[in-house]
Amino acid sequence: MAVSQESNTSGIVMGLKDGKALIQHEKSKIANRNYYVVGGPGSFKTQSFVLTNMLNITDCSIVVTDPKGEVFEKTAKIKEAQGYEVRVVNFKNMALSDHYNPFGYVRRDLDATTVANTIVSAKNDPKRKDIWFNAQLGLLKALILYAKTEFHPDKRNMEGILDFLQEFDPEANEDGDSELDMKFMALDKRHPARRSYELGFKKSQEKTRASIIISLLTTIGDYVDEEVAAFTSNNDFFFEDIGTKKVALYVLIPTMDSTWEGLINLFFTQMFQELYILGDKNGAKLPVPTVFLLDEFPNLGKFNNYEEFLATCRGYRIACCTILQNNTQLMDKYGKDKAESILGNCAIKICLGNVNDTTAAYFSNLMGKATVKVETGGHSISKGGTGNSSSSSNYSYSQRSLMNADEILTMSERDSLVLIAGKYPIKARKAIQFELYPGLVEEYEVSQMDYKRKISDAAQEAYEKEVYAYESLQEEMEELSLDEDQEIEDQNLADMEQDDILAQARDEIEMYQNSFNVLEAMSEEDNYEHVK
């Protein structure tokens, strides 16, 4: 079965109405292309929305969260046939993944703060930002900045930091300094790593230093694992690739294990930032539009500014589909106010059914009221004297919800509700992929276990440039050191020559003094003889 590379029907499929697909194109006039999609287990959430849109979208890059790996297995080969570069970042099995190193996107102090804060918050309660939290944050930030500027490119990662802490003892000696102190204090006073270290960890009391180090090592201890260390050692591709060419990026995330929730959250945070930076370089628009299909959204952690991202991403040619099981998940993760803001920034809302009471009530209220004609009285018939008859009925008009919550809860499993900003609600049929594309997925299915990581040319070139710059700097420092050594040697020789001249002068002076003493003694003897 042939797979077309691009189609004029490309776009986000909402559902089916009267046998035709409801599709929002990239240039549609609707407020934005942000979707809020809810559906409980058994609601065909993956089959009718995620997989269908992975197959139908052919003109945008796609980033999809894939808890089971099912989306990759069913669509990866199809996306390749459609002209996509396929990438996998696998937080479930890091050995079967392209590599991701968060340090690779640290360019400023603020970037280091973001990375350190996300990593520390993942293992410590961010609501309790006490002295231990802030001390870990400050030390990790300083270590990241040190790694970025002082380590070999192979060690500019979490493993490099762990090796560094293992090599240089942070415990203070009798003089109050430690090996770790000396490494940081050897840097220039204005070096960001030294400033962060000197104004943070170094000022902590000696008694608390050991506890801070232990706390930090506990926080980053999972990175000791060999597989994890390899996964976070470098970047096999850059996030800006997503906005410059057609990329299908599958992000495999664990559903029952929150160990890497912080790293997953950082992954997406940095991706959003990098796409905005790329957009700013291109007139606030991505060269290639991008669609995010964020299934199991709560498992991505909490994004600090997600509502702001949704409010501005349309201008950058980004569409974001927030997909979860019910509204309660969103409320629990973000709180009532932020959750309402997130919902307000999604122009299209889709209910796929099997939701809880809260979600059903929300959609019922969102759909609004309908005016209905209600019979309120009896029915009467009267006959006139001429033999004609007439009848009358009593009716009134009242409002009721277009769909009550209980009607949403008992909705057919093949039906869905599509609510578009500024439009009347639509009761649609689900666009189930195996009905729209019969046999297509089975023909191209692959195993997630067969994926092989690959390094992009841009990533390889960037790595080689970093190595060259580092080695060149080391050579310059070596030459400077040799020059300094030569200057010292020359100065020592000059000092030795000067010492020899002075010694010779002293010897000559002493010789003249001895000669003078002899003459003086002889003179005294002559005088004695003369007197005698």
pLDDT, one tens digit per residue, over 395-451 is 666 677 889 999 999 999 999 999 999 999 999 999 999 999 998 998 999 999 999
Among candidate residues 411, 438, 439, the one with its CA nearest the CA of residue 425: 411
* Measured CA angle at 364 (ends 358, 369), to 5 deg: 150
Q: Say how far apart CA 114 and CA 110 lie, in whole Å.
A: 6
Q: What is the mean pLDDT of residues 332-338?
A: 95
State both tokens at 217.
């090592």
Among candidate residues 274, 275, 334, 271, the one with its CA nearest the CA of residue 306: 334
* DSSP E strand stretches across 343-469: 348-351, 369-383, 389-401, 415-420, 426-429
pLDDT, one tens digit per residue, over 55-92 is 999 999 999 999 999 999 999 999 999 999 999 999 99
pLDDT top residue among 368 and 359: 359
pLDDT, one tens digit per residue, over 277-286 is 999 999 999 9
* C-alpha distance from residue 292 to each of 35, 194, 289 (Å): 10, 39, 10
pLDDT, one tens digit per residue, over 146-190 is 999 999 999 999 999 999 999 998 877 777 678 999 999 999 999
* High-pLDDT (> 70) share of the chain, %: 87
Q: How many CB atoms within 10 Å of residue 276?
A: 18
The per-residue pLDDT for 208 is 86
Over 50: is that where the pLDDT of 532 sits?
no
Among candidate residues 296, 298, 294, 344, the one with its CA nearest the CA of residue 320: 294
Report helix, strand or coil for 403: coil
The per-residue pLDDT for 334 is 95
Q: Say how far apart CA 521 and CA 518 lie, in whole Å.
A: 5
Q: What is the mean pLDDT of residues 345-362?
A: 97
The set of residues, in sequence order, having a beta carbon less than 8 Å from that of 101 and lying 6+ positions away, is: 156, 157, 232, 233, 234, 235
Q: What is the DSSP string of 240-302?
A: HHHHHS-EEEEEE--SS--TTHHHHHHHHHHHHHHHHHHHHTTTTS-SS-EEEEETTGGGG--
Over 90: is that where the pLDDT of 525 sits?
no
Q: Say how far apart CA 220 and CA 222 lie, in whole Å.
A: 6
Q: Given pLDDT bands bounded at 50, 70 and 90, which one contains residue 516?
A: low
User: Domain boundaries in the chain?
Assistant: 12-100+244-259+270-376+393-442, 103-227, 455-532
Q: Ramachandran region of residue 70, left (φ > 0), alpha (ψ -120 to 50) or beta?
A: alpha
In angstroms, how far is CA 33 from the centroid of its own chain?
Answer: 21
pLDDT, one tens digit per residue, over 448-498 is 999 999 999 999 999 999 999 999 988 888 877 666 656 666 677 766 777
Q: Given pLDDT bands bounded at 50, 70 and 90, which one contains residue 132?
A: confident
CATH number listed for the domain at residues 12-100+244-259+270-376+393-442:
3.40.50.300
The per-residue pLDDT for 1 is 47
Q: What is the DSSP string of 474-527?
A: HHHHHHHHHHHHHHHHHHHHHHHHHHHHHHHHHHHHHHHHHHHHHHHHHHHHHH
N-to-C CA span, the chain: 142
